[in-house]
């Protein structure tokens, strides 16, 4: 069995995985698995009837449809030619993700100015070229701009100064 | 007809009224205060529309205390200006950086961004502005003339009708995709499922939250949109091996060409009509309008193969539709006192604080307020198009900035915008997750646009389905019963649309079979 | 030596700050809901007023989620220095403890309740086509058609829902509950006649009542509402003791020093007594609450908690 379309192959598995995931968490683990494990592994919601649908009804039906479509896509991947999956470039992915996470989790402790600078540096590092002076200037400019527009202009409740500075000159 | 003109006259007089204004100790006589408020609203609205993540709801809420010191008409004019200003601004980010500012700009991303990448950002932005202006004018006229009867029509839409409309909408969402139909349907369903995360309206049960309390109210649209459209796009752009600029440096003309004009006027008309019609439905009308218009254009246009790659119809139609929808969504508010969306709910709040009870009596008891608002919609749209058209030159200049400066800035604004939703880091974490998901999907040839439409419509569809079943005490035939012609009509249309979509694919398969046999 | 002293001073900085005159830095007022709702709006009104009288900025922060629990928990577990306030409401203090399987905070032990800001009655409204002109006729109708009448509410576990359950229990009738996302869509369906009745809060129902799109039968408080003085109360109409309002106010963390609480209470009451603020709250349907001091508020919360714990249990309403 040769995989004729790599994209479809993995897409199919992704859909099946999501479908099964939602069905599993909507219905909960079946009795016999709970008995083996000892406790209720995953609790579910009520199915209800088709007449009086419970919270699990829609997710199970949709999950089933999704898994079924995933199987069709899998079938397609064996039968029809399709494109390959282009290589994953992890560097931009990781740096962009980390920069936004860093920003979010550092905003309260470090304040808007420092958190913005951190984000700019990390995300710039994930790009093709990284020149220290350029990035430094850009980060300061953007940090100041953000404070002016978002905190002063739109009055968003963001801390501007880091936590360890007791009274912030800018508010 | 004289009644209308008389009323409009009242409105315009109110808008252009000259008043004495006291500020900073000085009193200026003869200040056109209401116009000034309109301008401020439009400017502010455009600004927050352009900034990803920050929407009109949060801004209007923050400005409510300011409105206490204004007269009711000035306050409402300004707030309304923010609302449709944000629609204009949201199209700008959709076209320039593939980030939908509002849920109704998702569709504009599809072709608008492609046009920008081909150096046609100018015509794209101009088309959006012109289409929005035209639609705004026409739909304001609709509001002025037909508000009460249209409100009655809106009332006829119960859960069954909404459900059927959404089924139709979801089928239309499949049309949006230009790749494999099966994968598009799968993406729609995935979006539907993700939309179900959170508290279930009908039972109160918390679904798929895994004990994370931040998920109790579900995943926000902004988070998903920023992740799947914004972050994903940045990552995709950064991974190009050759250091190629994302936007071609040959930036091209600012204005649409003669050919563009010829191609855009019919989509604008159709979009306006669809938007005006669907905007009156409380809850989701304007969104359905924009991508309904896109779907319609894709099906009737002779350039349908260009859709998804930068067809100007793909910008003109949804932009007109969403602006028309934005204006007509005032109808339930002004006639029944019922808000169609979160912004309208805030307007009600603003009115109540001023001591005005929203409802049908506003039209008769306070004609200056009612007609003044309507007149201000025109003035606002005019201001916005005058503001936005010259700004196109500035936006285009912005695109020539090397991408290595652009993307960190975009990322910063997105992070700030997403964080400000509930002032917690969790939403940024979710955004990063959706960025990853979007990246994976693109690699696997699955499109994010159908998913996001499923995401928005999913919970609405389920809510209405279950409510309709509750009300009918479990009778599943309620959706196609002759007593509900609207619902039946939508479902028939959905089936028909499905057939139209499936037919070419089936025909292709049959041709292949034929070819193999000969 | 000097450096050591300096370090010590820096370390003692935070504690010194609170020992200084309160407030010496900006305050945070958490509104545990998304921007735009009535609680959020009143929070912003209050913040604007407090800013003037306290001389420090009061920043409203939206922390939506879990029916308000997340925001309240944030303040309950946060520093008790008087700089973090939260808008607490009947939902987060009295209803959610029994509605949700587990609540991360204890509404009586973890919080200090400062001032009750708003009390809004609910109104029993019916659709115009319903052949019931008063409460008695409605009860008779409900008894004639058990399970045929639909009553709407803004969400599962909302005061509208629980009021309906209370009504059902006290009258011995059976009506079907139809939850909506917010009262606006429920009102729309009621105007169209798709649902039959609803216990909506006064502010949101008043425009529809005045424009005669729906018919009001009674209010849910013991006293008649000054907005609709001709409307009888449910208590008068035969449901003795029926008294439900939607209320909300300001709370702080439990260990907040007493002088801070007193000063806060005084300032908020001052703001509430200001004529323009009073007017704006009135426009939202609120009558000035009779409960003024933190102690009165605290005992009010305790009694509401008891009432609703029982009601939720008996009605079987649940959130997960």
Instruction: Judge if C208 and C131 occupy the same domain.
Output: yes
Q: CB count, 10 Å around CB of B513?
A: 9
Q: Please measure the distance between the N-terminal and C-terminal CA atoms of chain A and give it in whole angstroms.
A: 66
| Closest chain A C-alpha to B195 CA, distance in angstroms | 10
Residues 6+ apart with CB under 8 A from C297: C113, C114, C115, C116, C249, C291
Cβ-Cβ contacts under 8 Å, B228 against chain A: none
Is B423 in contact with A146 (Cβ distance < 8 A)? no
Residues 6+ apart with CB under 8 A from B465: A53, A58, B159, B163
CA distances to A33, B212, C320 from A39, in Å: 9, 21, 20
- What CATH number is associated with residue C202? 3.40.190.10
Is B203 in contact with A46 (Cβ distance < 8 A)? yes
What element of type H or E holds B223?
helix B221-225
- Burial of residue A94 (CB within 10 Å: 0-12, 13-18, 19+) is middle
Q: CB count, 10 Å around CB of A34?
A: 15
Is C61 in contact with A157 (Cβ distance < 8 A)? yes
Is A81 within 8 Å of chain B by CB? Answer: no
Q: What is the pLDDT of residue B516?
A: 52
| Tens-level pLDDT at each residue, chain B (518 residues) | 557 788 888 888 888 888 887 776 777 777 788 888 999 999 999 988 888 878 888 888 888 888 878 888 899 999 999 998 888 888 998 998 888 877 788 889 889 999 988 888 889 999 999 999 999 999 988 888 888 888 888 888 889 998 998 888 888 888 777 778 889 999 999 999 999 998 887 777 788 888 787 787 788 888 998 899 989 888 888 887 555 556 655 556 778 888 888 888 899 999 999 999 888 887 766 778 888 899 888 888 888 788 888 889 999 999 999 899 888 888 888 888 888 888 888 888 888 878 787 877 788 888 888 888 888 888 899 999 888 888 888 888 888 788 888 889 999 999 998 998 878 899 999 999 999 999 999 888 888 888 988 998 888 888 888 889 888 888 888 888 888 888 888 899 888 888 887 777 666 666 655 555 54
Residues 6+ apart with CB under 8 A from A30: none
pLDDT per residue over B212-246, tens digit each? 877 877 888 889 988 999 898 888 888 875 555 56
Q: What values do phi and psi take at C105, rounded to 5?
A: -130, 160
Residues 6+ apart with CB under 8 A from C283: B352, B353, B354, B355, C203
Which ipTM did the prediction report? Answer: 0.91
- Token pair in block for residue B133: 């202006």
Pick from B293, B296, B263: which is nearest to B278 by CA? B293
Residues of C near A (CB-CB distance < 8 A)?
A: 13-14, 17, 24-26, 28, 57, 59-61
Q: CB count, 10 Å around CB of B378?
A: 20
Is A171 in contact with C57 (Cβ distance < 8 A)? yes
| Closest chain A C-alpha to C78 CA, distance in angstroms | 14
- Burial of residue B262 (CB within 10 Å: 0-12, 13-18, 19+) is exposed
Q: What is the pLDDT of residue A20?
A: 94
Judge whether residue C17 has pLDDT over 50. no
Query: Which of C9, C13, C319 should we substitute to test contact with A (largest number of A Cβ atoms within 10 Å)?
Result: C13
Cβ-Cβ contacts under 8 Å, B227 against chain A: none
Of A155, A157, A166, the CB nearest to C13: A166
Cβ-Cβ contacts under 8 Å, B207 against chain A: 26, 45, 55, 59
Residues 6+ apart with CB under 8 A from C55: C23
Cβ-Cβ contacts under 8 Å, C26 against chain A: 171
CA distances to A131, B241, C231 from A125, in Å: 9, 16, 68
CA B474 from centre of chain: 34
Query: Which of A140, A156, A157 should we substitute to test contact with B (largest number of B Cβ atoms within 10 Å)?
Result: A156
Q: What is the pLDDT of residue B435?
A: 93
Chain C residue with minimum CA distance to B354: C280
Is C14 in contact with A166 (Cβ distance < 8 A)? yes
Is B212 within 8 Å of chain C by CB? Answer: no
Percent of chain A topping pLDDT 90: 38
Cβ-Cβ contacts under 8 Å, B214 against chain C: 65, 70
Chain A contact partners (≥3 CB pairs within 8 A): B, C
Instruction: Judge if C111 and C132 occupy the same domain.
Output: no
Is A125 within 8 Å of chain B by CB? Answer: no
Which residue is associated with the tokens 């009143």?
Answer: C42
More confident of the two residues B352 and C58 = C58
- What confidence category does residue A117 fall into, taking pLDDT thresholds of 50, 70 and 90? very high
The answer to the question of residue C8 being in a domain is no
Cβ-Cβ contacts under 8 Å, A92 against chain B: 234-235, 238-239
Chain C residue with minimum CA distance to B61: C36
| Closest chain C C-alpha to A153 CA, distance in angstroms | 14
Q: Which of residues 4-63 of A touch B (CB under 8 A)?
A: 7-8, 10-11, 14-15, 18, 22, 25-26, 45-46, 49-55, 58-59, 62-63
| Total domain count, chain C | 2
Is A96 in contact with B428 (Cβ distance < 8 A)? no
Is B190 within 8 Å of chain A by CB? Answer: yes
Is A166 in contact with C59 (Cβ distance < 8 A)? no
DSSP letter for each residue of B25-54: TEEEEEE-HHHHHHHHHHHHHHHHHHSTT-
| Closest chain C C-alpha to B355 CA, distance in angstroms | 6
Q: What is the pLDDT of residue C6?
A: 53
Bridge partners for C125 per DSSP: C198, C216
Of B193, B412, B476, the CB nearest to A120: B412
Cβ-Cβ contacts under 8 Å, C189 against chain B: 158-159
Q: Which of residues 127-186 of C touch B (CB under 8 A)?
A: 150, 155-157, 176, 178-182, 184-185
The domain limits of chain B are 2-411+421-517
Instruction: Judge if C60 and C101 occupy the same domain.
Output: yes
Instruction: Judge if C148 and C209 occupy the same domain.
Output: yes
b/e for B401-430, b at 16 or more Cβ within 10 A? eebbbbbbbbbbbbbbbbbbbbbbbbbbbb
CA B4 from centre of chain: 29
Pick from B161, B158, B102: which is nearest to B286 by CA? B102
Q: Which of residues 33-62 of B touch A (CB under 8 A)?
A: 48, 51, 54, 59, 62
Q: Are B432 and A122 in contact (CB under 8 A)?
A: no
Cβ-Cβ contacts under 8 Å, B48 against chain A: 154
Instruction: Judge if C111 and C127 occupy the same domain.
Output: no
Instruction: Judge if C193 and C136 occupy the same domain.
Output: yes
- What CATH number is associated with residue C32? 3.40.190.150
User: Beta C176-179 vs C58-62: how paired, if at all?
Assistant: unpaired
Is B197 within 8 Å of chain C by CB? Answer: no
Q: Are B379 and B80 in contact (CB under 8 A)?
A: no
- What confidence category does residue C195 fall into, taking pLDDT thresholds of 50, 70 and 90? very high
Q: Which of residues 463-502 of B touch A (CB under 8 A)?
A: 465-466, 469-470, 474, 476
Q: What is the pLDDT of residue B318?
A: 93
Instruction: Judge if C100 and C125 occupy the same domain.
Output: no
Is A166 in contact with C17 (Cβ distance < 8 A)? yes
Three-state DSSP state, C21: coil
- The boundaries of the domain holding residue C142 are 121-219
Chain C contact partners (≥3 CB pairs within 8 A): A, B
Which of residues C160, C184, C219 is at a domain's end?
C219
Instruction: Judge if C94 and C171 occupy the same domain.
Output: no
Q: What is the pLDDT of residue B247?
A: 64
Q: What is the pLDDT of residue B128?
A: 92
State the Cα torsion B412-B417-B421-B427 to the nearest 10°. Answer: -40
Pick from B400, B385, B231, B255: which is nearest to B319 by CA? B385
The answer to the question of residue C131 being in a domain is yes
Pick from B508, B469, B172: which is nearest to B317 by CA? B172
Chain B residue with minimum CA distance to A60: B193
Q: Which DSSP category does A166 fall into?
A: S
Q: CB count, 10 Å around CB of B135?
A: 35
Is B419 in contact with A104 (Cβ distance < 8 A)? yes
CA distances to B93, B95, B173, C83 from B98, in Å: 6, 6, 18, 41
Is A166 in contact with C25 (Cβ distance < 8 A)? yes
- What confidence category does residue C5 fall into, taking pLDDT thresholds of 50, 70 and 90? low
Q: What is the pLDDT of residue A170?
A: 63
pLDDT per residue over C142-170, tens digit each? 999 888 899 998 888 888 899 998 899 88
Mean pLDDT across the stretch A123-131? 85
- Token pair in block for residue B385: 């198009």
Is A157 in contact with C59 (Cβ distance < 8 A)? yes
Of C184, C206, C284, the CB nearest to B339: C184
Chain C residue with minimum CA distance to B159: C189
Instruction: Judge if C135 and C68 occupy the same domain.
Output: no
CA distances to A17, A78, B110, B504, C58 from B517, in Å: 38, 22, 39, 20, 78
Instruction: Judge if C139 and C115 occupy the same domain.
Output: no
Q: Spell out where C110-160 has E strands.
A: 111-127, 150-153
Three-state DSSP state, B337: coil
Chain C residue with minimum CA distance to A55: C320
pTM of the model: 0.85
């Amino acid at each position: 069995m040769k995989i004729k379309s790599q994209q479809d192959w993995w897409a199919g598995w992704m859909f099946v995985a999501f479908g099964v995931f939602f069905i599993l968490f909507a219905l909960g683990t079946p009795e016999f698995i709970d008995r083996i494990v000892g406790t209720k592994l995953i609790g579910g919601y009520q199915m209800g009837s088709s007449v009086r649908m419970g919270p699990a009804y829609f997710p199970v039906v949709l999950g089933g449809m999704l898994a079924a479509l995933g199987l069709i896509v899998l079938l397609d991947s064996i039968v029809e030619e399709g494109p390959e999956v282009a290589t994953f470039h992890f560097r931009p992915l990781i740096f962009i993700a980390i920069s936004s996470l860093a920003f979010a989790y550092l905003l309260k402790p470090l304040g808007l100015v420092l958190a913005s600078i951190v984000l700019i540096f990390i995300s710039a590092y994930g790009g093709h070229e990284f020149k220290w002076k350029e990035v430094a200037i850009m980060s300061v400019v953007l940090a100041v701009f953000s404070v002016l527009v978002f905190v002063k202009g739109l009055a968003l409740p963001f801390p501007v100064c880091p936590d360890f500075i007791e009274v912030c000159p800018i508010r | 007809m004289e009644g209308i003109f008389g009323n409009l006259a009242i409105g315009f007089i109110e808008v252009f009224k000259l008043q004495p204004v006291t500020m900073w100790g000085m009193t200026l006589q003869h200040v056109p205060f209401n116009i000034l408020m309109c301008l401020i609203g439009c400017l502010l609205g455009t600004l927050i529309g352009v900034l990803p993540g920050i929407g009109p709801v949060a801004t209007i809420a923050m400005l409510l205390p300011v409105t206490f010191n204004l007269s009711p008409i000035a306050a409402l004019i300004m707030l309304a200006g923010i609302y449709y200003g944000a629609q204009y601004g949201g199209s700008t980010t959709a076209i320039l950086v593939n980030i939908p500012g509002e849920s109704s700009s998702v569709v504009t991303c599809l072709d608008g961004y492609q046009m920008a990448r081909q150096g046609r950002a100018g015509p794209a932005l101009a088309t959006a502005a012109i289409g929005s202006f035209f639609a705004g004018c026409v739909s304001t006229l609709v509001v002025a003339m037909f508000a009460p009867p249209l409100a009655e029509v809106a009332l006829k839409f119960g859960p069954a009708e909404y459900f059927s409309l959404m089924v139709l909408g979801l089928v239309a969402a499949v049309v949006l995709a230009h790749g494999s139909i099966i994968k598009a349907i799968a993406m729609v369903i995935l979006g539907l499922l993700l939309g179900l995360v959170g508290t279930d309206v009908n039972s109160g049960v918390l679904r798929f939250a895994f004990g994370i309390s931040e998920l109790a109210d579900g995943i926000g649209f902004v988070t998903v949109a920023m992740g799947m459209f914004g972050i994903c796009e940045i990552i995709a752009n950064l991974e190009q091996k050759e250091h190629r600029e994302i936007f071609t440096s040959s930036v091209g003309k600012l204005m649409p060409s003669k050919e563009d004009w010829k191609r855009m006027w019919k989509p604008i008309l159709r979009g306006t009509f669809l938007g005006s019609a669907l905007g009156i439905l409380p809850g989701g009308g304007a969104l359905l309008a924009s991508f309904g218009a896109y779907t319609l254009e894709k099906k009737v246009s002779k350039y349908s193969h260009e859709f998804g790659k930068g067809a100007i119809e793909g910008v003109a139609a949804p932009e007109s539709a969403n602006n028309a929808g934005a204006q007509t969504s005032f109808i339930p508010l002004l006639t029944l006192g019922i808000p169609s969306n979160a912004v309208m709910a805030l307007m009600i709040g603003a009115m109540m604080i001023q001591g005005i009870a929203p409802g049908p009596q506003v039209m008769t008891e306070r004609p200056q307020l009612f007609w003044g608002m309507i007149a201000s919609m025109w003035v606002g749209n005019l201001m916005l198009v005058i503001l936005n058209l010259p700004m196109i030159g500035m936006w285009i200049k912005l695109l020539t900035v090397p991408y290595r400066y652009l993307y960190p800035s975009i990322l910063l604004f997105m992070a700030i915008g997403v964080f400000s939703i509930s002032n917690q880091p969790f939403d940024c974490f979710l955004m990063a997750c959706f960025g990853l998901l979007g990246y994976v999907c693109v690699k696997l040839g699955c499109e994010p646009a159908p998913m996001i439409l499923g995401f928005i419509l999913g919970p609405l569809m389920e809510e209405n389905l279950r409510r309709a079943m509750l009300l009918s005490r479990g009778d599943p035939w309620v959706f196609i019963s002759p007593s509900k012609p609207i619902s039946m009509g939508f479902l028939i249309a959905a089936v028909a649309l499905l057939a139209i979509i499936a037919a070419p694919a089936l025909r292709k398969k049959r041709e292949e079979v034929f070819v193999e046999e000969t | 030596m000097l450096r050591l002293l300096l370090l010590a001073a820096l370390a003692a900085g935070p504690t010194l700050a609170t020992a200084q005159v309160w407030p010496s830095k900006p305050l945070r007022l958490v509104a545990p809901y998304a921007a735009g709702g009535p609680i959020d709006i009143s929070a912003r009104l209050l913040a604007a007023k407090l800013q003037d009288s306290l001389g420090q900025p009061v920043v409203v922060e939206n922390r939506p989620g879990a029916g308000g629990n997340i925001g309240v928990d944030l303040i309950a577990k946060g520093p008790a220095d008087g700089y973090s306030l939260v808008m607490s409401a009947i939902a987060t203090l009295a209803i959610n403890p029994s509605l949700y399987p587990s609540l991360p905070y204890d509404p009586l032990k973890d919080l200090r309740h400062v001032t009750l800001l708003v009390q809004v009655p609910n109104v029993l409204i019916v659709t115009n086509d319903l052949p019931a002109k008063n409460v008695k006729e409605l009860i008779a109708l409900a008894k004639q058609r058990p399970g045929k009448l639909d009553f709407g509410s803004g969400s599962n576990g909302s005061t509208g829902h629980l009021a309906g359950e209370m009504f059902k229990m006290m009258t011995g009738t059976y009506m079907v509950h139809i939850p909506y996302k917010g009262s606006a869509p429920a009102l729309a369906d009621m105007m169209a006649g798709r649902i039959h009745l609803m216990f909506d809060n006064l502010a949101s129902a008043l425009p529809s009542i005045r424009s005669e799109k729906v018919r009001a039968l009674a209010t849910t408080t013991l006293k008649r509402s000054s907005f609709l003085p001709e409307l009888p109360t449910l208590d008068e109409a035969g449901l003795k003791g029926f008294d439900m309002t939607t209320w909300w106010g300001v709370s702080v963390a439990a260990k907040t020093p007493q002088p801070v609480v007193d000063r806060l209470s005084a300032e908020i009451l001052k703001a509430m007594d200001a004529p323009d603020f009073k007017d704006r709250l009135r426009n939202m349907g609120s009558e000035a609450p009779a409960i003024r001091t933190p102690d009165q508020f605290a005992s009010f919360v305790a009694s509401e908690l008891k009432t609703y714990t029982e009601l939720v249990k008996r009605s079987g309403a649940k959130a997960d």
